[in-house]
Structure formats: C-alpha cells, structure tokens
Amino acid sequence: MTDINKHIARGAAWMVAFKLIDRGLGLVSTVVLARLLLPADFGLVAMATVIIAALQLLIAFSFDVPLIQNPNAGRAQFDTAWTINVLFGLAAAGVLGLLSYPAASFYSEPRLAHVIHVLALSFAIQALGNIGPVAFRREMRFDQEFRFLLAKRLALLCVTIPLAFWLRSYWALVLGQLLGAVLGVLLSYYASSYRPRFSLAAKGELFHASKWLMLNNLTTFLNGRAAEFLIGRVLGARALGTYTISFEISTLPTTELVAPINRAAFPGYARVASEISQLRSSFLTVVGMIALISLPAALGIVAVADLMVPAVLGQQWMAAVPLIQVLAIFGAIQALQTNISYIYLATGRMHMIAYLGGTQFILLLACMLPFLRWWGVQGAAWAYLASVIVMIPVNQVLLARCLSLGAADFLRCLWRPLAAALVMLAVVLAAKRSVVLPASGGAYLTALLACCALGACIFTAVLWLLWRQSGSPDGPEQVMWERLQAARRRLRRLA
C-alpha cells in the first residue's frame, strides 16, 4: 500500500472512529427523544429545518474545499472565508426571521414561527465559528479533528437530552440546537489557535473557486430535502416525523459512516490529482473501505428492522419499518457513489458534480410526485431508491473516462463484501423465522442483539474465507486483518 493510501487509511480510521461514536451518541439521543417526544414534535422541527436548510444553501460557499485543495492558501484566504461566512450568516439569520410567519402560514402550523425565531438566532451564532479547524483536514491531522468534532457532539447531547426530560415538548429540540451552537463556537476557538480577522482580500479568488460548489450545494439540498418538503406539505407533520426518523435510523451506518471516509480521502486525492494511476489506486482502496461498511450495514438493517423498531423506538413507530428497509438499500447504493464526487473535486471537474446532482434531482422529482400519490409516505423511500439505481450506470461511465477505470476493476472491490453480506442476510432471515416472539420490548431487544451478533459473525467469517480464497489481495480486508493482528499483539503484551 502506497504512502498516500496509508495516510488516507489512517485518516479514515480516525474519522470512522469519530462517526461510530457520534452516531452511537446520536442513536442514544434519538431513542431517548423518541421515547419522550411525539412524532408531531419531530415533524414540526423538521418543517423549520427544511426552511433553514434552503436559506443556508444560499450562503453555503464550501470555502473549505479550495482551502484544502490549494496548497498555497494562507491567512488572506482563511480570513476572507471567515469574514464572508460571518457577514452572509448574520444576514441570512435576519431573513430567516422575516420568513417565519409566512412559513407558519404555508404549513398551517402557528407554532412554527416561534421555532424559526429561535433557530434563526442559532444560525447567526454558528456563523461566528472559527475557520481554523479546516487546517486539520488540509494537513491531515485527523486526530485533532476527531477530538474537536467529538467535543461538539457531546456538548449538543448534554444539553438536548436534559431539556427533553424537563420540557417534554419540541422546545427541547429547538433550545438544544441553540445551546449546542453556542458551545460549538466556543469549542472551535478552543480547538484551534488560529484567530481570524475581518478581511475580503481574497474574495474574488474564493468566489471563483466556489461557483460550481454552490450549484452542487443546491442540487444536494434538492436531492436531500425534496421528500421532507413534499411530505410536510401533502401528508402533514405526523407523516413527516415518521419519515424523518426512518431516514435517520436507516442511514446511520451507511451514508453517515461513509462520510468520514470521504472526508479523509479528499485531502489525499488532492495531493495525487495529477497522477492518474495513483489516484485510481487510492479511489479503489477507498471504495473497498466503503463497501466493507455500507453493504453489511444496509442488508443487516433490512434483516432486523422489524425487531429494531419495536425494541428501540417503540410500537408507535411500527409504520417506519418498511421505510427503514427501503431507505437502507438506498443508503448503501448512495454510499458507494458518493466518493466519485471527491475525484471530480480533486481533479478540478467541479461542474460534473453539479450536472450529476441536477440529473439525479430531476429523476427523483419525476418519481416522487406519483409515488407519494400512490403509496403515501412509503412512496418517498421508493422514489429515492429508484433514482439512485438509475444513476449507477451514468456514474460508472463518466468515472471510467476520468480514471481509465474498467467495470471489472470496480467490481473487484465490491464482490467479496457483497457476497458476504448476502449470505449474512439469508442466515439472519432464516434464524428469525424459527423464533416466535411475545409482544414485549425486552423480547424484541434480546432477539435484535442476538441477530446482530449472528450477522456480524457470519459476515466476518464469510468475508475472511473469500479473501483468503482470492489470494489475500491488497485492500480493506488486509487493512482490517493487520489491525486485528496489531490489537492481538498489544493484548498479549498487556497480559
């Protein structure tokens, strides 16, 4: 494995470790809040979040990308990026406050106006955050970013859950966001010694570099939020709350865990962007890592969703089971496609990301409108799955031209994790059919834990056998094996 691949692997390990902890904490938070609050509470906050995300889109310049990609970026670029973020963030918060009452009228939800007022203040506070931590990724100091991001997550958790026990209403979510924003800004200045100054010296350079990224942010928003907007408008707060929680649960171990791998991979891609053979090797290594996580996680969720929902969320959320199963498959396919955009970023083909995102949104919208009419909230999940499946051959053809990458090379990274995950799915489903459960939360939880343990053992064993039968090639299995061997040696020394 080359040096840059080792740097990417180490960075991915730090970022995946953070995301595992982060999503574990997020799962605990979601479970506790789902027990204390109602679906309508989540739906109300989701309505506000859609509006905020739409406005945030207008000021999401993605300046971190040129700051990482450009090795010559210095104080002028960092200070300008911070200044623009502050100015546009404060202005957007003011606009958000003005939109609060029209938004409440649009959704026929009077409570929404006051929710947006508080979240607008949170939005303004977040704009003041330090730009310095961007250097952690640029310099591939992922251990420092790990500590910074984890501290922010713990701060949010420590304020939201106590508020939920105290208030037992949607205000716990709203005030939690506000206090979390304050703590996040303070932590950003504690984590990095960089102190930004007001400056617009590099505004032309940064805006030129980010124009395609802004368009990509638009398509990302439309692809990610289209369902929430339409469900909230057509089906109401309860259906939106069910969908929001379903999406959160189903994508936890796929898109959410893959994001840190992509985060670690981009600085490495930027360093070797001019060396196509090295870039292709790094990409295949990263795709293998993603497959190793996303495929067993997604098919595992499909297998145990009917146990997970009553055990974790409660019987009142049973309508979420089919949504979770469909969205889990969507999450796995999407996860395998997301890293492609970082290849385009590293090689300066930013327009490709915007074009592909726009194409996927058109497909999504074409499916979403009739599917919602035919199948209700479940139609949204099927629309996402259909659109991402159609995009697979499009993405692969364009990627092959960029990296001179054949389909056989790509499939070589996927077939072992996919085969092992399918065997795991079959075994877990067969095991479930032989068990009859009483309608109690404890029984569901016991069965869920047993199925998860069985699935993990089956997947690991089958994957290891396939890897050994293939001649133990370089790749994520080798990295995982080396890590296990190193851990075993450390345990022996401690013993």
Predicted pLDDT at 203: 79
Predicted pLDDT at 495: 60
Q: What is the pLDDT of residues 50-73, one digit of tens each?
A: 777 767 666 666 667 777 766 677
Q: Where is average pLDDT lowest: 109-123, 255-269, 313-327? A: 255-269
pLDDT over 70 percentage in the chain: 81
Q: How confident is the model at residue 422 (pLDDT cuts 50, 70, 90)?
A: very high
Cβ neighbours for 396, distance < 8 A, ≥ 6 positions apart: 407, 410
Give the mean model confidence (pLDDT) for residues 231-260. Answer: 73
Q: Where is average pLDDT lowest: 106-110, 186-190, 357-361? A: 106-110
CB 342 within 8 A of CB 319: no
Q: Where is average pLDDT lowest: 131-145, 209-223, 392-406? A: 209-223
Instruction: Select the more confidently predicted residue: 463 or 44.
Output: 463
CB 166 within 8 A of CB 172: yes
The answer on pLDDT for 3 being more than 60 is no
Q: Which residue intervals of 254-376 are DSSP H helices? A: 255-271, 276-308, 321-346, 350-375
Q: How confident is the model at residue 268 (pLDDT cuts 50, 70, 90)?
A: confident
* Nearest residue to 324 via CA among 298, 360, 296, 357: 298
Q: Rounded to whole angstroms, what are the CA distances from 456 to 136, 188, 259, 323?
A: 33, 37, 22, 23
- CA–CA separation, 152 and 29 (whole Å): 14
Instruction: Select the more confidently predicted residue: 1 or 286.
Output: 286
Q: What is the pLDDT of residues 137-153, one digit of tens each?
A: 776 666 677 777 778 87
Q: What is the pLDDT of residues 286-305, one digit of tens each?
A: 888 888 888 998 999 999 88
Helix axes 3-36, 255-271, angle to 10 degrees: 150
Tokens, residue 130: 């330090």
Residue 264 CA, distance from chain mean position: 14
**How does DSSP classify residue 62?**
-
As a whole number, the mean pLDDT across the chain is: 79
Predicted pLDDT at 18: 62
Give the mean model confidence (pLDDT) for residues 97-124. Answer: 84
Tokens, residue 481: 């094996």
Please give the span between the terminal C-alpha atoms of the chain, in angstroms, as a whole number: 31
- CA–CA separation, 294 and 333 (whole Å): 8
- CA–CA separation, 286 and 292 (whole Å): 10
